[in-house]
């Protein structure tokens, strides 16, 4: 396994910041009550956490780390519920169609990039762990007494 490039890691973090930042700025500027803004913000937080947790659980299983079926099921339910909650909320919101599309796209970008950032972090950790496990290579001269 190779380490993701620095450019790819920066692009993933940038996409997460752009997606989540745009979503939050859109909420701040939206003409809706504070409790509705809180609902959409909580949905975003739930979606980000559950999607990252779902990806981590899949990765754990792939690497042979024991995971429980109930936790995997809860991750799927939470991720699905967050998407459904956003869709239902936007469908029933008193927003322009362009605003609904904006929130949907910022939400989607945030989810995708959060999973990508988590994958990059995990890939880097695996590569660094494997590098630490390799024996140190020394020159033949270093082992001979002087």
Which residues fall within 8 angstroms of residue 106, CB to CB, at 6 or more apart?
A: 19, 20, 22, 23, 26
Whether 134 is covered by a domain: the verdict is no
Contact assessment for residue 67 and residue 60, using Cβ atoms and an 8 Å cutoff: yes
- Summarize the confidence of residues 60-80 as an average pLDDT: 93
Whether 8 is covered by a domain: the verdict is no
In this predicted structure, which of 45-54, 115-124, 125-134 has the lowest mean pLDDT? Answer: 125-134
Has residue 142 got a pLDDT over 60? no
Whether 86 is covered by a domain: the verdict is yes
Residue 129 has what pLDDT?
82
- Summarize the confidence of residues 116-121 as an average pLDDT: 93
d(CA 128, CA 59): 17
Q: Which of the pair, 125 or 105, is modelled with greater confidence? A: 105
- Summarize the confidence of residues 32-38 as an average pLDDT: 94
Number of folded domains in the chain? 1
Residue 63 has what pLDDT?
87
Residue 133 has what pLDDT?
66
Whether 28 is covered by a domain: the verdict is no
Whether 14 is covered by a domain: the verdict is no
Whether 13 is covered by a domain: the verdict is no
Whether 89 is covered by a domain: the verdict is yes
Whether 136 is covered by a domain: the verdict is no
Q: Which domain holds residue 96?
A: 34-122
């Amino acid at each position: 396994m190779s380490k993701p490039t620095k450019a790819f890691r920066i692009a993933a973090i940038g996409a997460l910041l752009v997606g989540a930042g745009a979503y939050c700025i859109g909420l701040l500027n939206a003409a809706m009550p504070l409790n509705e803004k809180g609902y959409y913000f909580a949905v975003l937080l739930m979606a980000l956490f559950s999607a990252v947790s779902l990806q981590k659980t899949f990765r754990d299983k792939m690497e042979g780390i024991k995971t429980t079926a109930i936790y995997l099921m809860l991750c799927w339910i939470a991720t699905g519920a967050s998407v459904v909650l956003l869709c239902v909320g936007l469908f029933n919101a008193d927003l322009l169609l362009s605003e609904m599309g904006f929130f949907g796209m910022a939400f989607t970008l945030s989810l995708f990039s959060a999973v990508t950032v988590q994958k990059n972090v995990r890939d880097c950790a695996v590569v660094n762990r494997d590098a630490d496990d390799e024996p140190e290579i020394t020159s033949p001269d270093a082992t001979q007494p002087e």
